[in-house]
Amino acid sequence: MVTPLRPTRKTMSSTPFDDICAVLRSRSAFLLVTHFEPDGDGIGACLALGRCLRSQGKRVTVWLPQGVPARYRFLPDAETVVTEAEPQEVAIGLDCDGARRLGATAETVNRAEVVIDIDHHAGHSPFGHIAWLDPAAPAAGFQAYRLIQALGCPITPEIATCLYCAVGTDSGFFRYANTSPELLRMAAEMVECGAKPKAIAEATLDRYPTALVRLAGRAMAALTLQLGGRVALATLTQEDFEAAGTDQTEGVIDYLRTVAEVEVLVLMRQSKEGWRTSLRSLAAVDVSVVAKTLGGGGHAPAAGCTLHGTLEEAWTHLAAALGPALESGSRA
C-alpha cells in the first residue's frame, strides 16, 4: 500500500499547491501515473504535465502498466509512455481517486522520496506526502493546467491538446454538470494555443475501434431495465469479450446514454477480479455514494466499484445499495 498522508509543509501558511510547485521546481526526476483502466483525463493530465516538466530540463517517466488505450494514442508524447518503470525521486499520482486505484504502480510509487497525490475526486483518503484534493476542480487536467501556469511553462499546441482532451473527456465535451464558466474559459485558451476541438472530439468521442463497437452492441443487446425502470443495466461476460475481439470497455457505457427515461446507467463487466461495475447518473442520484458503499469511488455523476460472486449475487448487492440512492435522489 502507498503510505498515508504525511504533509511536508515548511510553514503553516503554505498550501498543498504551493508545496507541489516547490517540489516540481526543486527536484529533477519524476514518475507520473494515473489510475488503472486510465481515461482521457488522467492520461491527458500526465502527458501535459510531463511535457511541461521536460521543457524545464526535468527527467520524466509517464507510466501506464496497461499502455495507452487506442483512442488516446493520437495525443502528443503518447509514444513515450512506458508499461514498466523504476522508482524515481518524485512520484505523482493524477486523478487516482485514492491509493487503491493505483493498481500495479502502487509499490513503485511508494518507493519515491516524495509522493504527491493530485485529484479532484471528493472524499477519498489522500496518500503520499503531499495531497492536493480539489473537488471543485472539474478535472485533473484543470489541476495540471494550474500547475503548468504556476511553473511559467508556455502552453504549446502539444500541451494544449493534452489538456483539452483531459477536461473534454471528463466533462463529456462540455455537456456534464462540471462544465463551469472557468472550465469553458480554459478550453477556449487551449484552442487559442493550438488545440483542435474537432480532431480531439472525433478521436475520443466519435470514432471507436470496430471491436469496441461490436462489444457495445453486445452490451446493448443484453440491456434490461431494473428497479421499476429507473436503472438501465447492461452486462459483458468473457464470452462477449472473445466474440468482439477486445476486453477494452471504455466508451461502451456512453452508448447507454441514449436510453430514455432512466436515472442511472450500470455496466457490469466480468474480470478476474470480479464484476467491474461502472455507474452513471442521469438525474439527481449520487452514484459515488453507491460505489463507496461497495468499496469503490468516483464522482456524484460517475463512479465505479468491483463486485464479487455470480452475476445474480453481484447485482443483488448493487440493487440493495442503489435503492436508497434512488429514493434520496427523488427527494433532492
> What is the set of domains in the chain, with CATH numbers?
16-205 (3.90.1640.10), 210-331 (3.10.310.30)
> 302 has which bridge partners?
280
Confidence class for position 10, pLDDT limits 50, 70, 90: very low
Please determine, for residue 9, whether its predicted confidence score (pLDDT) is greater than 70: no
- For the cut 60, the answer to whether the pLDDT of residue 330 exceeds it is no
| Number of H-type helices and E-type strands within the chain | 12, 11
| Cβ proximity of 93 and 109 under 8 Å | yes
Predicted pLDDT at 296: 87
Q: Model confidence at 1, in pLDDT bands (50, 70, 90)?
A: very low
pLDDT at 221 over 60: yes
Residue 329 pLDDT level (bands cut at 50, 70, 90): low
- Mapping DSSP to helix (H, G, I), strand (E, B) and coil, where does residue 332 land? coil
The interaxial angle of helices 157-170 and 40-55, nearest 10 deg, is 160
Q: Which three cell numbers stand for residue 38?
A: 486510465
